[in-house]
Structure 1
Amino acid sequence: MTAGYFDTTNYRGTHYGIDMAGLAGNTVKTVVGGTTTLVQKIAGNFFIGVKGDDGNLWIYGHLENYSVGIGKRVEAGTTIGTVFDGAYHNGVWMAQHLHLEVHKGHTYDRTKSMSPLQAYWKLRNR
Structure 2
Amino acid sequence: MAIDHVCISVPKSKHDEVVSFYLKSLAPLRYVEIMRFEGMVGLGADGVPDFWISAKEDANEKGQTHVAFTTKERALVQSFYEEALKAGATSNGPPGPRPHYTPTYYGAFVLDPVGNNVEAVCHCEAEAAK
Q: Same fold judged by TM-score > 0.5?
A: no
Q: Which has the higher strand share?
A: 1
Q: Which has the higher helix share?
A: 2
Q: TM-score, normalised by structure 2?
A: 0.28
Greater Rg, structure 1 or structure 2? 2
Q: TM-score, normalised by structure 1?
A: 0.29
